[in-house]
A and B are shown apart, each in its own frame.
Chain A
Amino acid sequence: MARSANITWEREQSCLRLMGDWLCTTLGKLPATLDKLSFPRHTSFMVDASSIEKLDTAGAWMMHRYFSQLKAFNYSFEVQGLNPTHQLLLDRIEAQSSHIRVPEHPQSPPLLPFIGREFVQKVLHFLEFHSFIGLALATFKQWFKPKNIQWNSILKMIEETGCKALPIIGLLSFLIGIVLAYQMGLQLRDYSANAYIVDFSGLAILREFGPLITAIIVAGRTGSAFTAQIGIMKINEEIDALRTFGLSPVERLVLPRIFGLLVAIPLLTVWADAFGIMGCMFMANHMLDISYMDFLKRFQEVVPLKTYTLGLIKTPVFAVLIAQVGCFQGFQVAYSADSVGSQTTRSVVQSIFLIIITDAFFSVLYSWQGL
């Protein structure tokens, strides 16, 4: 058991006694003790270090600094009883510290340059993202020859990002359907307009919630995975290895992901639409006494095909966004594990941000066109 470092002034013997273990882990309260310590000025005294049992670099450093302070205040003293090995350490510290000045206090960076730098960085980042999209497009040319297309990778991506996401997307869409129908049902019941639940849920789920929920879940589930996969490949130099084999990492890693998502997201959206509507049906039946058959019959009558297609049109755009952001952030990973984490977070935040902006853009566009 290590004892904590301590120091006391013994007036009778005119002696400063150092005790305990002077170790990194036991120094803890010593600086405070040193500050409080007081003894008469202009006395010469003895420093008794014989009770120190253990000493490490931090302890020796502390001791050295304290002794230098005492010397600076013109105290004269003599150190006694220091264990020879400890003395060696102390000498070494003294030798190392002989050639320097204390550095100036670091100033906190001023606000204006900070804002400027952040701004420039954001702009550069934005430009880089665009050049990355350009690179992907340019690389896509190679796939004009069908024999170059990486069917295997694309199919694997579809399985990974599409098939395996079916349960979660189905469940969440169903629940969203329930929540939505419940809220609308409360209002409609007051006006005895129960049947309109079908119109509203059709519109809301098919046009907005289906595509949006799918895109957001995929961004969180798959976009982040893209970033982490590519980032780790980069750290592991696998990307460099691909290059040395004369293969383009963008073609091998980015294009299959884009095309995989281009297939998976629209299909997942159809799936989400179906489950969302089922959720609404369930709630309508429960709360508003609309039977499943009645719901479906009215659904056919009042929800036009256009609602469905306008929702689906958005999904390929979401797919490209998620894949591009995910892969781009993966390539941005610097050579550390920390960076994988931060880029993954960034990838998810940015894709969701862009998805919502795009969705708003589509809404404006549709209303403009009177759709």
Chain B
Amino acid sequence: MIPVKINHLSFSRNSHVVFNDVNISIDPGKVTAIMGPSGTGKTTLLRLIGAQLRPDAGQILVGDQDIHRLSQKELYLARRKMGMLFQNAALFTNLSVFENVAFPLREHTQLSESMIRRIVLMKLQAVGLRGARDLMPSELSGGMSRRVALARAIALDPQLIMYDEPFTGQDPISMAVLVKLIKDLNTILGITSVIVSHDVPETSSISDYIYLISDGKVAGKGSPAEVSVDSSPEVKQFMHGLPDGVVPFHYPAKDYREDILS
């Protein structure tokens, strides 16, 4: 149960400003959703929290530690408390499904083989893939890989877990199961959960608090009920999926015709 506090965060990729003075506070033991159109930097934000990227300015506190000021060793210790579900699953392609889920257990615990087996099967059962344990990652569909990755991320029962678009590519049934699983993990184990998503209804249904990011800034925040009736144009456009409005559909580009002619 660790809180995350993001203070005055700024970050740019090359010349493209991804975040400009963003403040976000993630309460311990709650489900916080980070939403926003694709390309606004949701994945980037998770990478910043996991200290795989360094901010240009500002700080990120995980628990009471400034994650970017830790020594290499402290950082590796801090990361063991965090689980992360990657957008592309990021399974180890040379290990079977079972071994992928067992990996963190083998690395960080001294559990016996039979204990590891039991835990892995339990986690795989939770994501509905116990039967797929002997498959290799290349034999899984995108949605299945992501569920295996979820089982792996929760193998060690982390205190903070970050889900990068967990619902993308899921059929309605597994979607419902995942939504329930994420909520259960949060209520039963009290894991602080961060969900990055643009699936508005699913995410709203399980989150306690929502941040809406757009154009490098926090465009709206509040409980799902508050956000859904927010009157600011960006929030309204995103939450209700309107094609035209202040949030542009296009990634910033030079003039269309100039591009075509050149």
Closest to A239 in B: B90
Which among A97, A232, A233, A246 has the greatest number of chain B C-beta atoms within 10 A?
A246
A172 to chain B, nearest CB (A): 29
In the assembled complex, B50 has its CB within 8 A of some CB on chain A = yes
Cβ B257 vs Cβ A240 within 8 A: no
Bound CA span A152–B47, Å: 30
Cβ A237 vs Cβ B108 within 8 A: no
Shortest 8 CB-CB distances between A and B: which pairs? A237-B90, A246-B80, A100-B257, A241-B90, A246-B79, A246-B76, A244-B84, A103-B258
Cβ B82 vs Cβ A99 within 8 A: no
Q: Mark A215-254, 1 if CB is under 8 A from B, else 0.
A: 0000000000000000011001110110111111000000
Bound CA span A100–B262, Å: 12
Cβ A236 vs Cβ B256 within 8 A: no
Please indicate the chain B residues that have their CB under 8 angstroms from the CB of A232 in the complex.
93
Can you offer 19 A-B residue contacts whose CB atoms are under 8 A? Answer: A100-B256, A100-B257, A100-B258, A102-B258, A102-B261, A233-B93, A236-B88, A236-B93, A237-B90, A240-B50, A241-B90, A243-B52, A244-B79, A244-B84, A245-B79, A245-B103, A245-B107, A245-B108, A246-B78
In the assembled complex, A38 has its CB within 8 A of some CB on chain B = no
Please indicate the chain A residues that have their CB under 8 angstroms from the CB of B91 in the complex.
238, 241
B81 to chain A, nearest CB (A): 8
Closest to A105 in B: B262
In the assembled complex, B19 has its CB within 8 A of some CB on chain A = no
Please indicate the chain B residues that have their CB under 8 angstroms from the CB of A96 in the complex.
256-257
In the assembled complex, A116 has its CB within 8 A of some CB on chain B = no
Closest to B92 in A: A238
Please provide the chain B residues from 98 to 131 with a CB less than 8 Å away from any CB of chain A in the complex. Answer: 103-104, 107-108
In the assembled complex, A40 has its CB within 8 A of some CB on chain B = no
In the assembled complex, A370 has its CB within 8 A of some CB on chain B = no
- A238 in complex: contacting residue of B77, B83, B93, B104, CB < 8 Å: B93
With A103-B262, A106-B262, A237-B90 in contact, is A244–B83 under 8 Å at CB?
A: yes
Bound CA span A248–B79, Å: 11
Bound CA span A99–B254, Å: 12
State the interface size on chain B (CB cutoff 8 A): 29
A241-B90, A247-B76 known; 7 new pairs, CB 8 Å cut-off, are: A100-B256, A236-B93, A237-B86, A238-B90, A240-B52, A241-B84, A243-B50
Bound CA span A101–B258, Å: 7
In the assembled complex, B171 has its CB within 8 A of some CB on chain A = no
With A236-B90, A238-B93 in contact, is A246–B77 under 8 Å at CB?
A: yes
Cβ A241 vs Cβ B257 within 8 A: no
Please provide the chain B residues from 1 to 45 with a CB less than 8 Å away from any CB of chain A in the complex. Answer: none
- B108 in complex: contacting residue of A101, A102, A246, CB < 8 Å: A246
B196 to chain A, nearest CB (A): 15
Please indicate the chain B residues that have their CB under 8 angstroms from the CB of A101 in the complex.
258
Closest to A240 in B: B52
Please indicate the chain A residues that have their CB under 8 angstroms from the CB of B90 in the complex.
236-238, 240-241
Bound CA span A196–B47, Å: 66
In the assembled complex, B255 has its CB within 8 A of some CB on chain A = yes
Please indicate the chain A residues that have their CB under 8 angstroms from the CB of B255 in the complex.
99-100
With A97-B257, A103-B262, A243-B50 in contact, is A237–B107 under 8 Å at CB?
A: no
Closest to B83 in A: A244
A131 to chain B, nearest CB (A): 14
